[in-house]
């Protein structure tokens, strides 16, 4: 095994994951709006049309319901489709296909039909794309039995989750936060598939647990570094998977730290953070030394102006303040 | 063999500290003896014993804070009675927690609930710490795990350090806050008032005082006290307690007389059987009570026994006072300052010394008609001062 590491970006890691899947399995193909000639709206699939041709890198009409449905049909018929939906906001046009068909067919057929479909979507705010392109609706999908919902927040997961998702017989949704595409870092040259179940402790700490995922992870880690300067050691948990949730890792962490802050860019009311908080209270009530706290997106459609957009979702400084208030109430 | 327990000296008391033992192990004790001095949020009280026997063993040393109901000492009873009466005499306030041995944390009472984190609660149970004795540093004053552990660490050093006698004004404020908040939360009050012509009462008082030496002079308050006690005989439904969802009326009329303390705060210790005492006996009892309240020498039973409260604002007070009932009592009677006021006498307006009598009643136990009858009865008693 080579220990060599190379510089890369999140965008390149996702592209490498798609390439690897295309090369390893002839049943894999990529389908979506502008994924071919344009190279993907976030330039993830740039160059893949030239490498793999129109059969396997397919531009689709602007019809989410149509091409997601086609992806389900392809999966049912033995293919391994990767469907890209430009933004989670647009996926609402395909809700019927995702929720009523992809998620249900394996169950309604008594397990006779698998739907080994992967849908990739961009999610989140931070790129001034305003209220119709910037929301974080992955928590909604985490409500649906029959789906797996992933949120790669690191280069390793961007590189490794796709193959494992394609191997899974169930429909898997992968949410890529728009602010992560430009994230740079080093990745093992031999990096490959990673498990798609289980949360990861990205930073150990004793004073509180910060539970987060996706685009908020790097902000939480920055907050944790700053908190360490104040003598507060935060443990940062990257959920990785929103469905299923890794209760065991969360509860074990809360049992150690006894305080928990859940950070989620999505809206608070009825959000994934509410579900996590409820589970902590159900399963780890007697471990708690303070009520579970949540830091979520402000309940407004994400604004266009930069300063308002920034103010509408958790940032490193507000995470730091919320963590401090939890550990050292005044 | 019986247990002498930390008594509940009021609806708001959750714990107390033994600051003095007045009897030694082996010493003979008789019913009514003051055995110990206990400090509470309302200051120090002398606690009596309610049986005869021998103090065989002291279980709680001076300076130790324990919850209400904790066993303080063991009594070897003279004739080996199976179970002696526990220290808090009946009627016992509804909120007093059931007796628990000292190491077990007592449950929060129905009044102010303890803010205790789940982790802290579990650790307190493991370490046998009473969380009521711990100050919280968490959100909203919640007691956290670290607070419990710090309390345990501290306990080794400072047990016995609290052997002072006196009271802490902020603790008393807390106690009043707790009792009054509970009253307003649980008791549906009704309020009534009646102006009472005090001409005859004051004339009688002036004549009476003219023939007394200064030390034995009477205050107007004692007439109000006696008139109220007698009036309660006519309206017994306002005298007693609301316990476990129902009224428990008292045959004895033990008037809690509200005394404001110089350091701030308020107490309403009992004048027992006020209806049966002469004016002179009542005056002596009042003087004694005020002095002892202000020097923290009240008896435990004086705190638990009042069946009703009377608050009199005195000469410089406001015109009317609508009191807040001290739970679990059923009523509080208030008197404002005696002031000249226009009255209609024989069809003409005349200036008369007037006092506004008020009653706040627990509407669960009685209706306004009872309160109204009580005020009318007080009025008629005050119109015949020589009979008081």
Q: Locate the domains of chain A by residue range.
A: 5-188, 200-327
- B91, B190 Cβ separation under 8 angstroms: no
A287–B118 CB contact, under 8 Å: yes
- Residue B77's DSSP bridge partners are B53
Name the band, by pLDDT with cuts 50, 70 and 90, for residue B112: low
Which pLDDT value is given to residue B213? 86
pLDDT of residue A266: 97
Q: Locate the chain B residue with the closest alpha carbon to A290.
A: B117
- Torsion, Cα of A299, A300, A305, A309 (10° steps): 20
Q: Which residues contact B287 (CB under 8 A, 6 or more apart)?
A: none
Interface contact flag, B119 A288, Cβ < 8 Å: yes
Q: What is the dihedral of CA A101, A15, A143, A249, to 10 degrees?
A: 140
Partners of A285 on chain B (C-beta within 8 Å) are: 118
Of residues B177 and B170, which shows the higher confidence score?
B177
Residue given tokens 């992968």 in the structure block: A174
Tell me the residues of chain B between 41 and 60 that have a Cβ less than 8 Å away from chain A: none
How confident is the model over B346-375, as pLDDT tens digits?
Answer: 899 999 999 999 999 999 999 999 999 999
Q: What is the Cα–Cα distance from A241 to B290, expressed in whole angstroms?
A: 71
pLDDT mean over A176-183: 97
Element of type H or E holding B301: helix B300-304
pLDDT-based confidence at residue B8 (cuts at 50, 70, 90) = confident
Q: How many CB pairs under 8 A join A and B?
A: 31
**Interface predicted TM-score (ipTM) of this complex, two decimals:** 0.73
Q: Using alpha carbons only, what angle is made at residue B219 by residues B214 and B222, rounded to the nearest 5 degrees? A: 135
List the one residue out of B208, B233, B211 whose CA is nearest residue B220: B208
Residue B37 scores a pLDDT above 90: no
Sign for the CA dihedral angle at B181, B182, B187, B191 comes to: negative
Orientation of helix B368-382 relative to helix B220-234, angle to 10°: 130
Q: Do A329 and B119 touch (CB under 8 A)?
A: no
What is the mean predicted confidence (pLDDT) over B211-234?
A: 92
Tens digit of pLDDT for each residue in B60-84?
888 888 888 888 888 887 654 444 4
Among the partner residues B119, B137, B139, nearest to A258 by beta-carbon distance: B119
> With an 8 Å Cβ cutoff, is B118 touching chain A?
yes
Residue of B117, B137, B140 with shortest CB distance to A288: B117
pLDDT value of residue B363:
96
Count CA atoms within 13 Å of residue B190 on its CB side. 14
Q: Identify the closest residue of chain A to B121 by CA–CA distance.
A: A286
Helix (H, G, I), strand (E, B) or coil at A32: strand
Is 80 exceeded by the pLDDT of residue A203?
yes
Domain A5-188, architecture per CATH: 3-Layer(aba) Sandwich (3.40)
> Do the chains contact at A288 and B144, CB–CB below 8 Å?
no
- Taking the Cβ of residue A114 and every Cβ of chain B, the question of whether any pair is shorter than 8 Å is answered with no
Angstrom distances, CA of residue B110 to CA of A321, B125, B234 = 35, 20, 33
Q: Does B150 touch chain A (CB under 8 A)?
A: no
Question: CB distance from A290 to chain B under 8 Å?
Answer: yes
pLDDT value, residue B178: 84
Contacts of B119 in chain A (CB under 8 A): 258, 286-289
H/E stretch holding B353: strand B348-362
Residues in chain A with CB shorter than 8 Å from the CB of B122 are 286
A277-300 average pLDDT score: 96
Assess contact for B106 and B69: CB atoms under 8 A. Answer: yes
- The pLDDT, as a whole number, for residue B87 is 44
Give the per-residue pLDDT at B166. 52
Best of A251, A260, A290, A326 to disrupt the B interface (most B CBs within 10 Å) is A290
pLDDT digits over B281-306, tens only? 999 999 888 888 877 778 877 888 89
Nearest CA in chain A to B118: A286
Distance between B132 CA and the closest CA of chain A, angstroms: 17
Residues of A labelled as active-site residues: 64, 133
Substitution target from A208, A257, A289, A329 for chain B, most B beta carbons within 10 A: A289
Burial B269-285 (b: 16+ CB within 10 A, else e): bbbbebbebebeebbeb
Query: B258 and B224 in contact (C-beta within 8 Å)?
Result: no
B138: nearest CB among A285, A286, A329:
A329
CA B143 – CA B137 distance, rounded (Å): 6
> For residue B138, what is the nearest residue in chain A, using CA coordinates?
A329
- What fold does the segment set A200-327 form as a domain? Rossmann fold (3.40.50)
B148 touches chain A (CB under 8 A): no
Question: What's the CA gap between A147 and A105, in Å, rounded?
Answer: 11
SS3 B264: coil
Task: With CB atoms and an 8 Å threshold, state whether A291 touches B118.
Answer: no
Pairing of strands B189-197, B348-362: antiparallel
pLDDT of B338 over the 50 cut? yes
Interaxial angle between packed helices B118-127 and B145-158, expressed in degrees from 0 to 180 and rounded to the nearest 10: 30
Do B271 and B219 contact (CB within 8 A), yes or no?
no
Higher pLDDT, A283 or B85: A283
State chain A's mean pLDDT as an integer.
96
Confidence class of residue B89 from pLDDT cuts 50, 70 and 90? very low
Q: How many helices (H) and strands (E) does chain B have?
A: 8, 20
pLDDT at A207 over 70: yes
Indicate the pLDDT class of residue B321, thresholds 50, 70 and 90. very high
| Residues recorded for chain A | 330
A330: closest chain B residue by CA: B139
First to last CA, chain A: 52
The reply to whether A200-327 shares the fold of A5-188 is yes
- State whether A286 and B117 contact (CB < 8 Å): no
Residue A176's CB is within 10 A of a number of other CB atoms, namely 27
Whether residue A109 has pLDDT greater than 60 = yes
């Amino acid at each position: 095994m080579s220990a060599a590491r190379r510089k890369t970006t999140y965008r390149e890691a996702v592209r490498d994951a798609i390439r690897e899947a295309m090369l390893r399995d002839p049943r894999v193909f990529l389908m979506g709006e502008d994924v071919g000639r344009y190279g993907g709206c976030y330039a993830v699939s740039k160059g893949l049309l030239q490498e793999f041709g129109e059969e396997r890198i397919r531009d689709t009409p602007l019809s989410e319901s149509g091409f997601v449905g086609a992806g389900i049909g392809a999966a049912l018929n033995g293919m391994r489709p990767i469907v890209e939906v430009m933004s989670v906001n647009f996926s609402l046009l395909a809700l019927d296909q995702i929720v009523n068909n992809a998620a249900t067919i394996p169950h309604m057929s008594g397990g006779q039909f698998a739907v080994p479909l992967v849908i990739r979507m961009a999610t989140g705010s931070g790129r001034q794309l305003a209220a119709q392109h910037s929301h974080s609706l992955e928590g909604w999908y985490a409500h649906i039995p029959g789906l797996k919902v992933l949120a790669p927040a690191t280069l390793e997961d961007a590189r490794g989750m796709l193959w494992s998702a394609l191997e899974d017989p169930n429909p898997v949704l992968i949410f890529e936060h728009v602010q992560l595409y430009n994230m740079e870092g080093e990745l093992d040259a031999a990096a490959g598939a990673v498990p798609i179940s289980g949360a990861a402790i990205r930073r150990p700490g004793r004073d509180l647990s910060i539970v987060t995922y996706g685009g908020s992870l790097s902000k939480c880690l920055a907050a944790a570094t700053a908190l360490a300067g104040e003598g507060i050691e935060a443990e940062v948990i990257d959920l990785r998977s929103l469905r299923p949730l890794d209760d065991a890792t969360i509860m074990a962490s809360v049992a150690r730290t006894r305080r928990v802050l859940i950070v989620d860019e999505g809206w608070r009311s009825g959000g994934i953070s509410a579900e996590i908080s409820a589970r902590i209270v159900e399963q780890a009530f007697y471990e708690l030394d303070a009520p579970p706290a949540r830091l979520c997106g402000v309940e407004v459609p994400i604004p266009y102006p930069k300063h308002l957009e920034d103010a509408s979702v958790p940032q490193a400084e507000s995470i730091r303040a919320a963590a401090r208030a939890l550990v050292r109430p005044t | 063999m019986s247990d002498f327990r930390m008594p509940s000296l009021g609806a708001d008391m959750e714990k107390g500290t033994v600051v003095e033992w007045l009897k030694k192990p082996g010493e003979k004790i008789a019913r009514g003896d003051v055995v110990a001095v206990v400090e509470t949020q309302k200051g120090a009280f002398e606690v009596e014993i309610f049986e005869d026997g021998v103090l065989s063993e002291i279980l709680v040393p001076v300076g130790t804070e324990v919850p209400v109901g904790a066993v303080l000492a063991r009594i070897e009873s003279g004739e080996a009675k199976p179970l002696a009466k526990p220290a808090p005499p009946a009627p016992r306030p509804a909120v007093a927690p059931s007796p628990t041995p000292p190491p077990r944390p007592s449950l929060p009472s129905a009044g102010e609930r303890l803010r205790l984190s789940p982790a802290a609660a579990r650790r307190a149970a493991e370490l046998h710490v009473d969380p009521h004795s711990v100050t919280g540093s968490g959100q909203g004053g919640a007691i956290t795990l670290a607070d419990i552990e710090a309390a345990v660490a501290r306990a080794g050093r400072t047990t016995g350090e609290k052997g002072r006698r006196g009271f802490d004004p902020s603790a008393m404020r807390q106690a009043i806050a707790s009792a009054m908040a509970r009253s307003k939360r649980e008791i549906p009050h009704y309020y009534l008032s009646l102006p009472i012509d005090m001409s005859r009462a004051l004339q009688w008082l002036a004549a009476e005082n003219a023939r007394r030496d200064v030390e034995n002079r009477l205050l107007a308050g004692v007439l109000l006290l006696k008139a109220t006690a007698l009036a309660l005989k006519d309206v017994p439904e306002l005298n007693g307690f609301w316990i476990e969802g129902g009224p428990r009326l008292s045959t004895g009329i033990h008037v809690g007389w509200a005394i404001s303390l110089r350091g701030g705060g308020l107490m309403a210790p009992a004048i027992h059987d006020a209806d049966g005492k002469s004016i002179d006996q009542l005056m002596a009892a009042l003087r004694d009570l005020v002095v002892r309240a202000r020097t923290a020498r009240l008896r435990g039973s004086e705190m638990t026994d009042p069946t009703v409260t009377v608050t009199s604002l005195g000469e410089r007070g406001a015109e009317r006072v609508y009191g807040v009932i001290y739970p679990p009592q059923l009523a509080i009677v208030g008197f404002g300052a005696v002031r000249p006021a226009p009255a209609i006498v024989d069809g003409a307006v005349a200036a008369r010394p007037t006092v506004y009598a008020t009653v706040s009643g627990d509407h669960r136990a009685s209706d306004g008609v009872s309160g109204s009858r009580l005020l009318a009865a007080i009025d008629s008693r005050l119109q015949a001062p020589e009979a008081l």
